[in-house]
Amino acid sequence: MSSPIVSLAEIIRNTEISPDIYEMELQAPEITEKANPGQFLHIRCSDTVSPLLRRPISIAYADHK
């Protein structure tokens, strides 16, 4: 099992594709080079304790180039 990667990611786009369903594109090369569809990112939304838990986001596609 590999070690977790801690990284900042830039939100490239966040598109509502259906009511309450969004497709988000992130740019984080150190994550993309190791990511595969079906894996999850655990997103920390803030540097504070609110929200307490990270948000699980599934990977649908990763551009490895």
| pLDDT tens-digit readout, 32-58 | 888 999 999 999 888 888 888 999 999
Range of the domain at 44: 10-58
Residue 3 located in a structural domain: no
Q: How many domains does the chain have?
A: 1
Residue 1 located in a structural domain: no
At position 8, the amino acid (one-letter code) is: L
E strand map for 1-65: 10-18, 21-27, 40-43, 55-58
Residue 45 located in a structural domain: yes
SS3 assignment, position 10: strand
pLDDT single digits (tens) 17-38: 999 999 999 999 998 888 999 9
What is the reported pTM? 0.74
